[in-house]
Amino acid sequence: MKDKVFLKELDKQFEFDEEVASVFDDMLDRSVPFYREVLDLVSELVVKNCEKNDRVCDLGSSTATTLLEIYKKSDKNLHLAGIDNSKAMVERSKRKISAFGADIEIKEGNFIIDEIPTSKVILANYTLQFVRPAKRAALVKKIYNSLQKGGLFIFNEKVIYEDNKLHKQMIDIYYDFKKKMGYSEYEIAKKREALENVLIPYSDEENITMAKYAGFKRVDIIFKWANFTCFLAKKD
């Protein structure tokens, strides 16, 4: 379904409810620059770095698109699992997985307080930015502790720039991108309003520092476009 969530007046902040879940795949394709290319990159890296029966855990798995892409590319009998705190997302992802006949485990849960299973790879695609800053560093430390030795933490984030002029230019460039993807000025403004104080981005430097503080000795940027960055951190 096409994303038309912000064509009407909203009386609440952004949340991952049934209305958003029903159009979420279209929302990602039209709101995240190079979404499909990054999905391909991340899934390829996961497959290349996993051995038979390894576990891959996706935090904030939404409609399970990433896990399904890994499932399609791997013949290693990986244990693919997703955790999401949105009931609507979990129900939609389960229907999607069933339609593909895939072996993927999805559960509703709060990974901030719930246990994260020991994994070879943990993913968080555009997830940390929705975690309150007061709890974000502790979550990344929890992710580090949940990884096997040699495991990977791959996370995508919308980011800010510390240079105010450059930050404004990047916002303008992203605004133009969304217009090219078919969103009206009204929709763009309403979504920005709904996300205020809900999506709280860090800079590249802040994300890298947070990951290193958690224990990761090396954190690489493996893809970047304007104010969107994909990070890869490895546990020694």
Query: Which pLDDT value is given to residue 3?
Result: 38
Query: Which pLDDT value is given to residue 25?
Result: 75
Total count of domains within the chain: 1
Query: Which pLDDT value is given to residue 185?
Result: 85
Query: Which pLDDT value is given to residue 23?
Result: 58
Per-residue pLDDT of the chain (236 residues; tens, 9 = 90+): 553 444 455 555 545 455 554 555 777 888 899 999 999 999 999 999 999 999 999 999 999 999 999 999 999 999 999 999 999 989 999 999 999 999 999 999 999 999 999 999 999 999 999 999 999 999 999 999 999 999 999 999 999 999 999 999 999 999 999 999 888 888 778 778 877 788 999 999 999 999 999 999 999 999 999 999 999 999 99
CATH of the domain at 141: 3.40.50.150
Could you tell me which residues come within 8 angstroms of residue 69 by beta carbon, excluding any fewer than 6 positions away? 39, 40, 43
Q: Which residue range(s) make up the domain with 180?
A: 5-234
Could you tell me which residues come within 8 angstroms of residue 62 by beta carbon, excluding any fewer than 6 positions away? 16, 21, 24, 84, 86, 89, 93, 125
Q: Which residue has the tokens 């919308």?
A: 158
Structure tokens at 32: 């995240």
Give this prediction's pTM: 0.90
CA dist 146 and 208 (Å) reads 18
Query: Which pLDDT value is given to residue 7?
Result: 44
CA dist 62 and 85 (Å) reads 9
